[in-house]
Structure formats: C-alpha cells, structure tokens
Amino acid sequence: MMSFISYLISGINLGSVYAIIALGYTMVYGIAKMLNFAHGDVIMVGAFVILTAITKAGLAPWMSVLLAIVICTLMGITIEAIAYRPLRKAASPLAVLITAIGVSYLLQNLALLLFGADAKSFVTIINVPNVSLFGGQLTIKGITIVTIIVSAIIMTVLTLFVKRTKPGRAMQAVSEDKDAAQLMGVNVNTTISLTFAIGSGLAAIAGLLLCSAYPTLTPYTGSMPGIKAFVAAVFGGIGSIPGAMVGGILLGIIEIFGRAYISTQIADAICFAVLIIVLLVKPTGLFGKNVQEKV
Amino acid sequence: MKNIKKVLCLTAAAAMVASAVMPTAVFAEEETFKIGVIGPMTGDYAQYGVGVYLGAQVAVEEINAAGGINGYQIELLDAGDDMGDPEKSVNAYYDLLDNGMQILCGTVTSGAGIAVGAEAAESTFMFTPSGTAVDVITSGSNEFRMCFTDPMQGVKSAEFISEHELGTKIAIIYDSMADYNTGIHDAFIEAADTYGLEIVADEAYTTDSNSDFSVQLSKVAESGAEILFLPNYYNDNALILQQAADIDLQATIFGVDGMDGILSVENFDTSLAEDVMLLLSFAASDESEATQSFVSAFQEKSDGLVPNQFAADAYDVIYAIKDAAEDAGITPDMSNEDISAAMTASMLNIECDRLTGHTTWTEDGECEKDPKAVVIKNGVYEFVD
C-alpha cells in the first residue's frame, strides 16, 4: 500500500511537469492553431540559461529564473516572427509544422555548439524540505509539492487571463476566426505574439521544474518530455487549459504505474498507446470541444 | 553557348584526369603510416571519443619523437566523428580511407564498432580501444581489442564482488535498450550463480525514459540488496545516484567502465559517488611513472582534463600497433590488405605492458589481462587491492 502511494506521488510529480509543458503546447495550439514542436527545446534553453547564470555569472537563483523567463519570452516572440508568421498564410498547415521541427533541431544544435554534449548536473534551486508521513514510511519530496502547486497556480492564472482580460478575450477571438477578429479591430499579429510570449515564458518555468525534479541537463533534455507533454495535451483535449493540466497529471500517473506494475521497459509504449486510444475513442480529448465546421 | 559547354567539358575532363593522377603522386612522396581514429567526438558520448583521440595523440607524438615505426613517422588523421551512431561510423570509416588511412584505431563505441568491423574485415587492420561488444571484432581475423568484452566485464565484476566479499545480495538497474548494458547484464546474471551471488532485484529502464528511476530504485530498496550493480554509462548513472540519495539507499554501488567519467559531469555533487566501485584497469591517480607521465602529457593537450580509461586504452592501442608493426616489419608503401595480414600474424607474438596492465592477445583478437577495480575516495579513484 505504501509503495502504491509512493508510486502515485512519483506519478503526480512527473505528471505536473508534463502538465506545465502541456500548458504551453495547448495555449499556442488553442490560439494560433499550430503545433509548436520546438516548445520542448525552449524548455531546454530556459534550463541552460538558469544553469549558466548561476554557475558562470554567479547570479542569485531568483534573478536567474527571471532572466530565463525574459530570454525565453523574447526567443518565443522572435521564433514566431521569423519562422512561423511568414508561413501563416501558406497553403498547407504542414508547412508551419515542419518549420517547427526545424526550429527544434536548430535550438538543439545551437545548444550543442554552445554548451557541448556532456550531461551537466542541474543545481539545486528549489530548497523545500521533504515531507515525511506515517513515521517515515512515506516521503514526499519538496520539489514534488512545489511542482504541483506551481502548475495549479499557472493553470488558474492562465484560465482567468484568457477568460477575463481584454488581451485574453482577443486571444479567444483570434482562436475562433482570425479574419473576423481582425475586422473587429483585434491586432492578430500582436495577439499571436503575446501567445508565444506567454507559452515560452512558461517553458522557462517548466525547464526549472523539470531539471529540479530530474537534475540532469543536455541539449536533448527537452525533447522527450516535450513529446510526452504533447501526448498529454492531446489526451486532455488540445486547446483546453484545464485539459492540459488533467491530461499531464494522468499521463504521469499512467507512466509510473505502467513502469511499476506492468513493465519498466514498455512504459513509453503505454504512454503512446494512450494517445492512440484517446484519438480513436474521443478524438477531441477529455476536455476538448467538438466544434462543427460551418461552411 | 556551345563553346562555353565545350570549355566546361574540357575543364571537367582535365580535372578528372588530374584527380586520378594526383593521389598516387602524393602517396609516393609521403612516407608515413596513416592511422585513423573513429569515435564520438560530439554527441552524448563525446567524452569517450575525445579521450581516445587525445590518448592516441599522446602516444603518436611520443613514438614519432623516438623515431617512429620502422623509421617512418606516424600521421594521426583528423578524427572521424560518428556520435556513436553505426551509420555515421561507416561513413567516417570510408572518409578516413579516402584520406589514406592504413590502420584503424577504433571504433570507440560498440554499436558503431559492429558496423565498421564488418566493413574492415580482412581489408584494413582494426584495433578497438574500447568497443566492448563481442561482435565488434568477430567479422574478421584482422580485428583486435584492448579492453574486456561486455560479457567479460559482467563475469569479472561478479568475480570481483565475490572474491572481495562485498556482499551476496545483488540488485541491478540497467538500460535494456542498449547492447552495451544488456551484454554486461546478461553475463553478470549468468555468472552470478557460479560466484554464489543472489540477484534480488533485476530492474530495466529504456534509453528514452532515462530520467525517472524512482520506481526501479524503490524496488531495489525493498529487495534489501547489499550491492547495486549499474552496468550503464555515466550520465544515466549520475541521475541514478542522485535519486538513490533522495531515498537514502544503503547499497554499495558497483559500476563498469561506462561509468568512468562520472566525476567529471559538470556540477555533479561528487560526494554522491563516494565509495562507488568501478571495474577499471586504469586510474589517473595511480602513482606509477608511466601513468603520471601520460597524465601530464594528456593534460597539456586538453587544458587539464583528467584522462579516463578510454584514453589510456587508446594510448596502449597505438603502442601495441607499433609493437606489432615492428614485429611484422611493415612499411607505409604496402597496401592496407598486406599491412593487415602481416600485423594480424604479429599480434600473437607481442606483449604489451604500459598503462592498462600486462596484456597479450589470442587468435580471436581478444586481450588477456587480470581485472582491477577502483573505489572512489574523496573524489579520486583508488585501486582496490
């Protein structure tokens, strides 16, 4: 029973990291209607900025995190303006998708060039003591608690932002119909830029949490969690903010339980099988809306 | 227009003739042995490839300064970078051949070595410093190895653990997707019985999910293991050590040569690796004269990097090549096939005793030497007596 609970907690920890990454995916997809496959690599860049700022420049941890958020935000805006915006009117939506994959490789290889291929251990930034329950039989790591709380806060703030604020409502409008939104006086370019800015800023926080939970960093650190988080976003219903959160946590739990009770070797296969089953049974995901295309 | 085409054709033809004639002319003038190194110079396993290349450089410079091989200097070609990938490795092999390579010191990693071994069979003499999979050198009789094979590392680890009475309850966590890790794992399991070891937990992970080891580690903790055997590369093992510390795992960690390098992972808290044991035949902290002079020459080349076993193996490979080449009396004007055949015969006559211990070779190309292990104390390797 104790091991069941400890696996559950590991699952929630892994899942909340997926959830934060998935929030970035889902934001961008929900509003710009594109899959930003470079999102996982922005996370890696964020983590590298934090690590370099602390170890090389000697900045305080909170300053480094702030710096990472700023750099990732600017990078998100730049990537969107240079790589995606010119292709927004392209005949096939595949063009942007393929460019996103290209951006992903570009970021990985730039990191490889700048930081080298050797795995680096991540520094401890989040110092929250472990919580011991049932007389020491069960330990919840401090970082697990922080990750869960941070994901919950981000989800709530994002939901409120999109629903209640003016730029948030502009995002909804752009999501529904770009051309109509433009006619109503919404600046589509600014709105999409803002979406990328928020998504990429979140990626920096995701990088911090990912590397704090699993303290190793290479230029490829972001790619597998990025793909898993994409599965999580689809699982929860891509475009839906609470969906990303729930999908992420469920996927984390499924992965850890799969590893604990089925096989450590096919845990990834189980994750992707979940994606296939969800797409077959409920193509819009758990929280996805089924929007009828009007002609 | 027509004239331009004619001119172009002529230039092209002239270039072709020139390129066909040039190489022979160049080859006749340059009387050097050309040795090539193939290994991961970038990518996940760069630490190994770079170590091998620098180790080989140190040996080549020493040999050249002392007069070369049979009176000819050695030219170490630019390293072929394969990133540990078999396909890239075969490409690197043919690139090096185009550059005149006569003898191959490589490859560094196993998967790549199996692919290149098949190409080099009975054509170019191949000597791997660190390709530990059995099949790296089984394609041809002209292929040799400086280190233990994966199965041998598994067997020798079991032998070492039992002889030094480190414990009898063994747990294993290993990457079940990689040849290297499974090769050692399988041989260890097989040998465990013979040496009176009991496997209490046998946990796998995959290359794609190598960040969260919480499940495997809690199973190891539950099993009450005294020794945790980790036949993995250092980057995965660094994470395993960190997460093992989180749950306060008590077992002694025992690794193999792939774990060499764990102390140089950037920002890694080396106190986590305290008392970790590694099956290694080289330790830079060893005080013998040969080791110390190698270490200082290596550090001069690499801005103070500490050489690992891969570097020492490569150094020994170059010297073994020299010994065999002198025994065979080869010269640089011979074809790769002739050099290869002569060297193959001579490998059985030579004995090497430099950095990695006294070594001889069998007809299969395997080396024979005693296993040694180091324990990490205060962040440095110490040989276990």
What would the two tokens of residue B73 be? 């200097």
CA-based nearest residue in chain A for residue B267: A121
CB B234 within 8 A of CB B260: yes
Tell me the residue range of the domain where B263 lies: 151-280
Taking only the tens place, the pLDDT of each residue in A220-257 is: 988 889 989 988 998 888 888 889 999 999 999 999 99
C-alpha distances out from residue B19 to A159, B14, B99, Å:
68, 9, 13
**B212 touches A: beta carbon within 8 Å:** yes
Residue with tokens 């903010």: A241
Cα distance between residue B107 and residue B114, in whole Å: 9
The verdict on whether omega for the bond into residue B107 sits within 30 degrees of 0, i.e. cis, is yes
The yes-or-no verdict on residue A130 having pLDDT over 70 is yes
Kind of pairing, strands B373-377 and B367-368?
unpaired
Residues B141 and B158 in one domain: no
Q: Percentage of chain A surpassing pLDDT 70?
A: 97
Q: Are A140 and A133 in contact (CB under 8 A)?
A: yes
φ, ψ (nearest 5 deg) of residue A121? -80, 140
Whether B224 and B244 map to the same domain: the answer is yes
B107 and B142 part of one domain: yes
Sheet holding B358-361, edge to edge: B352-353, B358-361, B367-368
Shared domain check, B236 and B135: no
**Closest Cα of chain B to A232: distance in Å?**
16
Residues of A in contact with B267 (CB under 8 A): 51, 55, 120-123
Please give the residue that has the higher pLDDT: either B90 or A26.
B90
The one-character DSSP state at A130 is P
Q: Which residue in chain B is spatially nearest to A258 when comparing CA positions?
A: B215
Q: Report how far residue B118's alpha carbon sits from residue A251's, in angstroms, rounded to the nearest whole number.
A: 43
CA distance B235 to chain A (A): 6
Cβ within 8 Å, pair A268-B44: no
Domain termination residue (choose one: B236, B259, B280): B280
Interface with A, mutate which of B211, B223, B247, B302 (most A CBs under 10 A): B211
Whether residues A122 and B239 touch (CB distance < 8 A) is answered with no
CB contact under 8 A, A119 and B238: yes
- Does residue B67 sit in the same domain as residue B123? yes
Cα A263 to Cα A138, A267, A278, B174, B176: the distances in Å are: 23, 6, 21, 13, 12
Question: For residue A221, what is the nearest residue in chain B, using CA coordinates?
Answer: B211
Separation of alpha carbons B323 and B379, rounded Å: 36
Q: How confident is the model at residue A144 (pLDDT cuts 50, 70, 90)?
A: confident
Tokens of B175: 């990457």
Give the SS3 label for residue A60: coil
Looking at residue A294, its pLDDT comes to: 54
B267 and A119: CB-CB below 8 Å? no
The answer on B121 and B35 residing in a single domain is: yes
Asked whether the beta carbons of residue B215 and residue A218 sit closer than 8 angstroms, the reply is no
* Interchain contact B245–A (C-beta under 8 A): no
Residues B237, B189 share a domain:
yes
- Indicate whether B155 and B216 sit together in one domain: yes
Q: Do B265 and A218 touch (CB under 8 A)?
A: no
Among candidate residues B227, B262, B280, the one where a domain is terminated: B280
The C-alpha angle with vertex B52 and arms to B46 and B57, in degrees rounded to 5, equals: 125
Residue B209 to residue A267, Cβ atoms within 8 A: yes
Partner residue facing A216 (CB), from B43, B203, B235: B235
pTM, rounded to two decimals: 0.76
ipTM metric: 0.79
User: Strand runs (DSSP E) across chain A, as ranges?
Assistant: 120-121, 131-133, 138-140, 216-217
Q: Are residues B162 and B268 in the same domain?
A: yes
Closest by CA position to A151, among listed A241, A30, A42, A19: A19
Higher pLDDT, A196 or B260: A196
Distance from the B267 Cα atom to the nearest Cα atom in chain A, whole angstroms: 5
Which of B265, B280, B295 is the last residue before a domain boundary?
B280
Note whether A270 and A262 are within 8 A (CB): yes
Class level of CATH domain A2-281 = mainly alpha
Q: Please compute, for residue B318, the number of CA atoms within 13 A of its CA located in the half-sphere on the CB side.
A: 30
pLDDT (0 to 100) of residue B212: 86
In a domain, B344, yes or no: yes
Tell me what pLDDT residue A262 has. Answer: 86
Q: Which of B45, B210, B212 to mutate to test the interface with A (most CBs of A within 10 A)?
A: B212
Which residues of A are less than 8 Å from B206 in CB distance?
Answer: 264-265, 267-268
Mean pLDDT of chain A: 87
Report yes or no: B87 and B112 within 8 Å, Cβ to Cβ. Answer: no
A85-123 per-position pLDDT tens digit: 888 887 787 888 899 999 999 999 999 888 887 788 888
For chain B, what is the HEC assignment?
CHHHHHHHHHHHHHHHHHHHHHHHHHHHHCCEEEEEEEECCCCCCHHHHHHHHHHHHHHHHHHHHCCCECCEEEEECCCEECCCCHHHHHHHHHHHHHCCCCEEEECCCHHHHHHHHHHHCCCCEEEECCCCCHHHHCCCCCEEECCCCHHHHHHHHHHHHHHCCCCCEEEEEEECCCHHHHHHHHHHHHHHHHCCCEEEEEEEECHHHCCCCHHHHHHHHHHCCCEEEECCCHHHHHHHHHHHHHCCCCCEEEECHHHCCHHHCECCCHHHHCCCEEECCCCCCCCCHHHHHHHHHHHHHHCCCCCCHHHHHHHHHHHHHHHHHHHHCCCCCCCHHHHHHHHHHHHCCCCEECCCCEEEECCCCCEECCCCEEEEECCEEEECC
The answer to whether residues B297 and B260 belong to one domain is no
* Same-domain status, B71 and B174: no
Which of A212, A207, A45, A40 lies closest to A121 in space, CA to CA? A212
Average pLDDT, consecutive stretches of 10 residues, N- to C-terminus, chain B (385 residues) = 54 52 48 94 85 96 94 94 94 95 93 94 94 90 92 90 90 89 92 92 86 89 92 90 88 90 84 91 88 94 88 95 94 94 94 91 90 88 84
CA distance B381 to B261: 11
Task: Give the orientation angle of helix A188-213 with respect to helix A142-164, to 10 degrees.
Answer: 170
The SS3 of residue A19 is helix
Which of A168, A162, A194, A209 has its CA nearest to residue A21? Answer: A209
Q: Is residue B374 part of a domain?
A: no
Q: What is the pLDDT of residue B230?
A: 95
Are the beta carbons of B206 and A256 separated by less than 8 Å? no
CB contact under 8 A, A119 and B208: no
Q: What is the CATH number of the domain that holds B178?
A: 3.40.50.2300
Alpha-carbon gap, residue B91 to B74, rounded angstroms: 23
**What residues of chain A have any CB closer than 8 angstroms to a CB in chain B?**
3, 6-7, 10, 14, 51, 55, 112, 116-123, 139, 141, 214-216, 218, 220, 224-225, 255-256, 259-260, 263-265, 267-268
**Distance, CA of A238 to CA of A32 (rounded, Å):** 12
Residue B180 tokens, joined: 């290297």
B10 lies within 8 A of chain A by CB: no
Report chain A residues whose CB lies below 8 A from the CB of B246: 141
Do the domain assignments include residue B22?
Answer: no
pLDDT of residue B30: 59
Domain count, chain B: 2
Residue B267, both tokens: 């920002």
- Asked if residue B189 and residue B296 are part of one domain, the reply reads no
Yes or no, beta carbons of A118 and B212 under 8 Å apart: no
Mean pLDDT, chain B, integer: 88
